[in-house]
Amino acid sequence: AQSVAQPEDQVNVAEGNPLTVKCTYSVSGNPYLFWYVQYPNRGLQFLLKYITGDNLVKGSYGFEAEFNKSQTSFHLKKPSALVSDSALYFCAVRVSGGYQKVTFGIGTKLQVIP
């Protein structure tokens, strides 16, 4: 069975500081990894994905994530946080190939403090 762990319920960071939201995964086979963001009363929005190739992937709104196979991690990062980045962030994983189910983590609330 595949799973995703987001060990922090909430991350607080000052505006302008770098931010990291952690994610580790467990899957049998090659993983496809995703980050989504959810603003209040809205559906999830795609940020970025890792399928294959470069371990550092860049996505929307200045976010990036680094795939680390040995540590089975896919942490989300941004060099300089904005107040508008405050939201709920979900990491997700699926196995490569075919029509495979995506498993989401429980989410991490990011609070950027002005």
| Cβ(34)–Cβ(98) below 8 Å | no
The least distance separating other proteins from the CB of residue 106, rounded to whole angstroms, comes to 5
| Integer Cα distance of 63 and 5 in angstroms | 20
Name the residue nearer to other proteins (CB basis): 61 or 80.
61
The least distance separating other proteins from the CB of residue 95, rounded to whole angstroms, comes to 11
Judged by the rule CB under 8 A, the positions of this chain that interact with other proteins are 4, 32, 34, 36, 41-46, 49, 51, 90, 92, 96, 98-99, 101-107
Residue 92 one-letter amino acid? A
| Integer Cα distance of 66 and 57 in angstroms | 6
Name the residue nearer to other proteins (CB basis): 6 or 86.
6
